[in-house]
Structure 1
Amino acid sequence: MYNQFKSVSLSYKVAPLSIREQIALNEEGAKALMLRIREFFDVSDVLVVSTCNRTEIYYSASENLNEEFIKLLLIQKGITDVSYYQQYFEQFANGDEAVRHLFEVATGLLSQVVGDMQIPNQIKQSYQWSADMNMAGPFLHRLMHTIFFANKRVAQETSFRDGAASVSYSAVELVDTLTVNPKILVVGLGEIGTDVCRNLANKEGADITLVNRTRSKADALSTELGFRVADFEDIDIEIMRADVIVSSIVCDEPYFTKELMTKLGGLTFKYFIDLSVPRSVEPEVEEVPGVVLYNIDTIRSRADEALVRRMQAVPKVKAIIEESVAEFNDWSKEMIVSPTIQKLKNALEQIRQEEMARYMKGMTDAEAAKLERITSSMMQKIIKLPVLQLKAACKRGEAETLIDVLNDLFNLEKQPEEKH
């Protein structure tokens, strides 16, 4: 099964945002794709992951279906020019490469923001879909739980999760330090404003309102995240209502000025977080009583410090991944010999039962019980060495030869894998 694991990946490393957003899947789309895969292909261990930065399909199959899965995904998204879009996909047809890639994605090592905390949760969600749809077998179950344990080690043993390493993450992290259960107004829904909103989606107790010059963009994001939307024409009212205003408006001159804030009058505390370049909040707004301003340099400084700590932790994270992959490899290889071990146990148990039947006639219950203990103990000792040798052969990559020898010696092909 290990060598049958494969994947295809479309990510920010190869594909621009304009391509990624065309191919991204929501939950409904991901599940629909999984159902089509199950309907048309003989596969197992299917995992479909889709975020704003990547869309990936993992699966186990005896043949390489990467090209077919890319076509299936593109067709589902209504894209007919398959050959053009294929260039943006990375393909992993080797089990070791696919497993290692999933480890690196799930730990945040390959995230656009190194150490991204969102991706482990998104991987868990994708895995839950697979489990709910009965598309996760023993291989994927073991792989995912090994990854979850590796993530736990990363969090406990390194600084890879410390701080918010992107401007949008840092902005949301800053909000947490300013006030409790705030009313947040997000103005401007370009790439950074949208990222802020997606990070705010996990924030409990916040009342979030979106304002954008193009109302349709705010409505679309509101549908996705469940936030309130207001018209740009009503921004004065929304400023009065909000505790925190996050601005990423694209403009030549500051939109939020001292004059505007003075005109509104009677303000309680207002926190402005200006993520725009050029600035959209005039520095002089802080001269208005109750107004506090944080600009892009402040936020970026926080993000840079966190990123430095995370980058310093990368070698340790890679070491944890290597150890975890090696552990999973050992388990996966042992799975190859598991049927042979079970057949060998069944063959020896059959011999034991046949010989017991010959000698138990006329024995007392006590004598029969004693014979049962002796023969069972003998069988365990006899099988111990072949099992250890099989597992050792797995690690050396020589299991097939030993399996063939045991099959010939004990005629194991006629034995069932499990004894009922």
Structure 2
Amino acid sequence: MSELLSLGLSHKTAPVEVRERLAFNGEQLTGLLRELRGSDQIDEAVAISTCNRTELYLVVGDALEAESQVLATLARKAGIRATELTASMYSERNCDAARRLYRVTAGLDSMIVGEAEIQGQVKRAYEFALERDATGPLTNHLFKAALATGKRVRSETAVGLGALSLPGAGVVLVREALGSLEGATVVIVGSGETADLCARALRGSGASLIFVAGRHALRAIALAERSGGRAVRIDELPEVLAAADVVMTATSSPHILIEARALAEVMAQRPERSLLLVDLAVPRDIDPDCGQIANVASFDIDDLEAVVRRTRRVRRDESSRAEGIVEQEIQNFAAWLGSLEVRPTIAALRQHAEEIVAGVLAENDGRWESLSERDRERLDAVLHAVVNRLLHRPTLRMKELLDDRVHGRMALVRDLFGLDVDDDGAIGSAAADVADLSEIRQLSQA
């Protein structure tokens, strides 16, 4: 039988220097999904890669073998030993794996509890895998249910009320460090969603905004127009750094954009002025050594934890309500997942019993020379009646065991009786969830 397996790391288990090694862009994700689906142990795969987590949700045959293969693949891509990577990874199966995804989608596992952005990120990760034929019946059902759970949490609780986005937390940190942004020059390196959130959080602060972009200059210009700032090219970055009071970076560049050596030369031209750097990117845009330069204070995404900790306390009660909703939805998923295993296991058990009856009759056929045909029919009926009565109560009990432990129980039944269950048909019939992108987009709306 197939199992649901999740493998990943997050801000809770790995520092940014490890997370950035496993931050994948679109092309890299395409290659990763193709490689995962090429394994004979992996039938379905979805990968979530954000600044705070990289998680894989897989449908596998042999979970131990699949986990070993995936760890080796990730370690190779991260350029570190598998044993070193294992210390930062978590691994969960079936309902525990689903619970993790539900909590992630609802914003309950985020650095900033209740953040809204993660729902859209999960939706886009699922769509990405769906468009590349990497999903299947189980992951289709799982992600649709997770997105519905996230939407329910946000509509029925206030867990996201007043929640800071990561860019918002970065701006709070800047305000606390400087006291006021009135008259300050803030340089935002990037032109995507995170840069836009930075601009929104800075709106009304009195700061002058400068947007720096490389490949997406038109997006930077549009962002600058919306925010009352101005846009410059990436090759003008040294010039704007010389005039900056604050720099916030939020790009998807795989390379460092602000090197310590280059920044030291800039700071030498302005020895009396300080500079505050906030790096919101993973992989990082700013050389960690920049923080060692005189008059430079440098923060990365992990340094926002103190700001975030205060917001957690405010929403603790709402988080408890949200966790309750997740558990309700997990019970629904457990019942659905259990139905994939219970029916084929019961069918295989009854077939096994029928084969035993047929075998016993065949083995003793020559011993009953005087047995009439009518008596043979009666004997056959008696043996089948014994089988039916013997299996009646276990069958009823198995149908009732639709909770988050059903997978282990069904595995035990199959192991005890040596049953070989082909689950392809079971999953196909019980999981007739046709992936509909329009439905997924609706579910992703908070």
TM value normalised by structure 1: 0.57
Cα deviation for residue 253 of structure 1 reads 3.6
Hey, what does 1:335 align to over in structure 2? Answer: 340
Residues 1:304 and 1:220: Cα distance change in structure 2 (over 3 Å): farther
Cα deviation for residue 335 of structure 1 reads 1.7
Does the Cα contact within 8 Å between 1:162 and 1:309 map onto a contact in 2? no
Cα deviation for residue 94 of structure 1 reads 3.0
Bigger shift: 394-403 or 93-102?
394-403
Hey, what does 2:132 align to over in structure 1? Answer: 133
Q: What is the distance in 1 between the residues matched to 2:130 and 2:136?
A: 8
Q: What is the distance in 1 between the residues matched to 2:414 and 2:41?
A: 27
Residues 1:196 and 1:145: Cα distance change in structure 2 (over 3 Å): closer
Hey, what does 1:369 align to over in structure 2? Answer: none
The number of residue pairs the alignment matches comes to 306
Residues 1:387 and 1:130: Cα distance change in structure 2 (over 3 Å): farther
Hey, what does 1:76 align to over in structure 2? Answer: 77
Does the Cα contact within 8 Å between 1:24 and 1:51 map onto a contact in 2? yes
Cα deviation for residue 163 of structure 1 reads 1.8
Cα deviation for residue 55 of structure 1 reads 1.1
Q: What is the distance in 2 between the residues matched to 1:232 and 1:225?
A: 14
Matched, 1:22 2:14: no
RMSD: 5.2
Q: What is the distance in 2 between the residues matched to 1:66 and 1:13?
A: 20
Hey, what does 1:210 align to over in structure 2? Answer: 211
Hey, what does 1:182 align to over in structure 2? Answer: none
| Structure with the larger RCO, 1 or 2 (CA within 8 Å, 6+ apart) | 2
Residues 1:387 and 1:229: Cα distance change in structure 2 (over 3 Å): farther
The alignment-based identity, stated in percent, is 24
Structure 2: runs of 5 or more not aligned: 173-184, 202-208, 224-230, 250-266, 277-294, 298-304, 350-392, 430-446
Matched, 1:321 2:321: no
* Structure 1 residues 172-204: Cα deviation after superposition (integer angstroms, max 9, x where no partner): 89xxxxxxxxxxx841659xx99952635999x
Hey, what does 2:52 align to over in structure 1? Answer: 53
Q: What is the distance in 1 between the residues matched to 2:18 and 2:34?
A: 24
Letter in 1 for 2:317: Q
SS of residue paired to 2:114 = coil
Q: What is the distance in 1 between the residues matched to 2:54 and 2:90?
A: 12
Cα deviation for residue 138 of structure 1 reads 1.7
After TM superposition, the structure 1 = structure 2 runs for residues 128-167 of structure 1, keeping only pairs within 5 Å, are 128-166=127-165
Q: What is the distance in 2 between the residues matched to 1:30 and 1:402?
A: 38
Does the Cα contact within 8 Å between 1:172 and 1:199 map onto a contact in 2? no
Bigger shift: 35-44 or 226-235?
226-235
Does the Cα contact within 8 Å between 2:8 and 2:55 map onto a contact in 1? yes
Letter in 2 for 1:104: R
After TM superposition, the structure 1 = structure 2 runs for residues 196-207 of structure 1, keeping only pairs within 5 Å, are 197=195, 199-200=197-198
Matched, 1:391 2:391: no
Cα deviation for residue 232 of structure 1 reads 4.7
Cα deviation for residue 302 of structure 1 reads 10
* Structure 1 residues 73-124: Cα deviation after superposition (integer angstroms, max 9, x where no partner): 23235x1x32464244323253232222222222221111222212111111
Matched, 1:13 2:12: yes
* Structure 1 residues 221-269: Cα deviation after superposition (integer angstroms, max 9, x where no partner): 9799897534256649x99xxxxx975599974679xxxxxxxxxxxxx
